[in-house]
Amino acid sequence: MNEMPTHSEPTPTPGSAVLTTPPAADQPGGAPYGRAPTLLEQLQKPMSIAVIVLAVLLAAQSWSSSKQIRSLREEVAKRLQKGDISNAETGVIARNVQESNKELEIKVGALENRQSETQSQQLALEQLYNDLSKNRDEWALTEIEQVLSTASQQLQLAGNVPGALIALQNADRSLSRSDKPQFITIRRAIGRDMEKLKALPSVDSTGVALRLDTVIAQIDALPMLSDEKPALPAAPERTRKPVRDAAGKLVGPPAPEPLLQQVRNGWDTWSGDMWNDVRQLIRIRRVDTPEALMLSPTQSYFLRENIKLRLLNARMALLSRNETAFRNDLIAAQDGLAKYFDTRARATQTAQSLLRQVQASNLTIELPTLSDSLTAVRNYKAKS
């Protein structure tokens, strides 16, 4: 505990009075009875009390501090325990997160690989699509070029205007399926060629060909001068008169003719037949081409076939727009009909009328070419 302070006598200083106390008597109290306490003695009691109070306060403070420290330690221990538990849980969560991160990294790596593969496949598909698109356009343009070239040849050789129009329309329809603006120039050229063909005057080639076919089918039935046989007059019909009464009514079958009348009728019939035969023996006719009457059956057959071949050649010249050959063959066929066939017959006159209608047809039409469309297609192919 706190030790009491020891008193020592003050040392005298120069110039000061020294207060000397006589020695205390040999008493247990130290001070003689009836002597007044000194200043030092008076100060020792409050100091002792203050020291005691201070010691008590220090003890209370120490106990309070130790209690607070103990509770703080307990709290810290609890919190440390909770922190350890939290750390353990956090460690478990961290391990789970790490495992999840590893799995995610594996998945992300797989996804990146798949993405790279997908990008490679996409690039390959785009390249393939571009190649296919380019090849498809090239194939389409090549096909259109072939169609237009064939249509141009048919137009120049056979004058097939409807066929050329159909070819141009099909080419324009094929180009319309593509949205490429580069095809606008080609479609514009095709449109110009279509307008040129539509502006041409129409030639009824089909109607002319049908008329020629009709005449060709009638050639075998047309009468010729070499085989003409005039029709014999019809024999008069002899009928018996019916029996009538006074009022003019029929009263019975016709009465039989008498024998003399029958003989007379028989004579008239025989003499008429004989006269007709005699008339057939000698005929007087005016024929400008005597060789037409001297044709044998074989020559007549070949003459008919020759006229049919002429008409067939005229039909082919019509389809090929060869007007010179067309008109030469028609003239030859008409001359053959007028020279060797009976022009008085109705069938011959009908055939000649059809040939005159055919000859009046105009085939001299200047047909345009499809050069604009072909040039546009070839220029586009050369640029690409």
pTM, to two decimals: 0.42
Instruction: Provide the pLDDT for residue 306.
Output: 92
User: How many CA atoms lie within 13 Å of 349's alpha carbon, on the beta-carbon side?
Assistant: 3
In whole angstroms, what is the distance from residue 30 CA to residue 66 CA? 42
pLDDT band at residue 126 under the 50/70/90 scheme: confident
Token pair of 20 as six digits: 């000397």
Query: pLDDT over 90 for what percent of the chain?
Result: 5
* pLDDT, tens digit (0-9, with 9 covering 90-100), for 2-25: 444 444 444 444 444 444 444 444
In sequence order, what are the residues at sequence separation of 6 or more whose Cβ sits closer than 8 angstroms to the Cβ of residue 207? Answer: none
Give residue 251's pLDDT: 53
Q: What is the DSSP string of 181-236?
A: GGGHHHHHHHHHHHHHHHTSPP--HHHHHHHHHHHHHHGGGS-BSTT--PPPPPPP
In angstroms, rounded to a whole number, what is the distance separating the alpha carbons of residues 63 and 56?
10
Stronger pLDDT, 182 or 238, i.e. the higher one: 182
Per-residue pLDDT reduced to its tens digit, 150-179: 888 777 776 677 778 888 888 888 887 776
How far is CA 211 from each of CA 225, 306, 322, 330, rounded to the nearest angstrom? 24, 18, 18, 12
Average pLDDT in the chain: 75
Torsion of CA 171, 172, 176, 181, to 10 degrees: 100
